[in-house]
Amino acid sequence: MRKIVSPLSSNRRGFAKIVLLSTALTLSAAPIVLAQAAAPPKVSVMAALTKPMRTSETFIGRGEAIDKVDVIARVSGFLEEVLVADGSDVQEGDLMFRIERSAYEATLEARRADLAKAEANLQLTSLDLARKEELMSRGAVSVAERDTSRANEKVAEAQVRSAKAAIQQADLDLSYTEIHAPFSGRIGRIEVSVGDVVGPTSNSLVNLVREAPIYVAFALNEKQFVNVLQKIQQEADTEQEQKGLIEVFVVLPNGNDLEERGRIAFADNRIDPTTGAITVRAKFENANRWIIDGSYLTVGLESKKTVDRIVISQAAIQRDQQGTFVLVVDDQQLVQQRYIKTGDVVGIGIIVLEGLSDGETVVVEGLQRIRPGAKVDPILANQAGE
């Protein structure tokens, strides 16, 4: 008797084998999947470190030359010589321009002649007075005549003094035909040419600016100014110590820091009612002349004394509606959310005033993969690429 195999029975056995094989594969792979799901995410971390820092505040400042002047001729005349070039450096007393002298030399000679005439007239009136006094003693002339001679002598004396003053003025006018640098500095563009008629009412001949040393002026509001004063008084006892307590630094317009430090030279004695601020000036030697009159700069006040501050990377900082926070990894490798209060930026770091302790570990990379309460696998940031 032949055994007939039903196609349906054969299909069932095949299906059963497939189910068993699939189940076996699933069971064999389950530990791997579960192990992968259980692995904590890797994150890069850095330690919050305490560092000695100098407290500072920054403001917008402007370069101001200590001395600058528009050079103007003090007497009128034809410009005879220009002895400097555009943009050149000059020293105090250097001759820069010369105005035609001949007219002023002639005037000086005329005033000298007037003096000689006045002195001769004085001599004559003095002799006349002496004669009148002698004759009056003999009764030959009246008192009125004697008094007239005395008055004439006094007039002559006044004329001598006037002539001498005129000579001084003429001598001054002659000296003004030579225009010298009133101080050392650098001149700008020369605005006149030889042959021009110049004088007190004409335009300036050239602008002269003292470039070194130089002031940097900036403004503090009332609160900032009082805070600075209180800090100085708390940390220094004598006036000399107070002057040396705070240094002034500047950031040049190209973003580079000026290595040279300045000192406070002046603080105004009143608050400007229109701005609510007080003007402060710092003095810089400006040896490289990188601070230019009229240039805008970032200027800051920095304490010479250091204080310990906790510093973390700015990459760890996050913000929400409640404020600024960081994610901290504790000893159990669990993530905690910690709200903090920050201070000044220091390079790529930032000062933490409240909320963190020295040595705590904060997450700087992988923040998007974790949440508070999650377990993580922390890796030091400088080892993250290993």
**Residue 357 phi, psi dihedral angles, 5° rounding:** -115, 160
This prediction's pTM: 0.65
Upper half-sphere CA count for residue 157 (Cβ side, 13 Å): 8
Please name which of 343, 344, 341, 336 lies closest in space to residue 354, comparing C-alpha atoms. Answer: 341
Q: Which long-range CB contacts under 8 A does 249-256 form with residues at least 24 apart?
A: 249/56, 249/299, 249/300, 249/302, 250/61, 250/216, 250/284, 250/291, 250/297, 250/298, 250/299, 250/300, 251/58, 251/297, 251/298, 251/299, 251/300, 252/290, 252/291, 252/297, 253/295, 253/296, 253/297
- What are the 10-residue block averages of pLDDT along the chain, 386 residues in total? 44 48 49 58 89 78 95 96 95 96 96 96 93 88 90 95 96 96 96 94 95 94 82 63 74 89 88 89 93 92 77 90 92 91 83 89 88 88 49
Looking at the chain, list the stretches that DSSP marks H as alpha helix, in order from N- to C-terminal side: 7-38, 102-138, 143-175, 222-235, 239-245
Provide the pLDDT for residue 119: 95
pLDDT tens digits for range 4-30: 444 444 445 554 454 444 444 454 554
Are the C-beta atoms of residues 342 and 19 closer than 8 Å to each other? no
- Computed over every residue of the chain, the mean pLDDT equals 85
Q: 102-138 vs 143-175: helix axis angle to the nearest 10? A: 170
Per-residue pLDDT reduced to its tens digit, 27-68: 455 454 444 556 888 888 998 888 887 666 788 999 999 999
User: Residues near 123 by Cβ (< 8 Å), separated by ≥ 6?
Assistant: none
Amino acid at 368: Q
What is the model's pLDDT at position 34? 46
Contacts of 74 (CB under 8 A, 6+ apart): 176, 179, 200
Cα gap 53→333, rounded to integer Å: 30
Considering the chain, what percentage of its residues have pLDDT values greater than 70? 84
- Number of other residues whose CB lies within 10 A of the CB of residue 58: 15
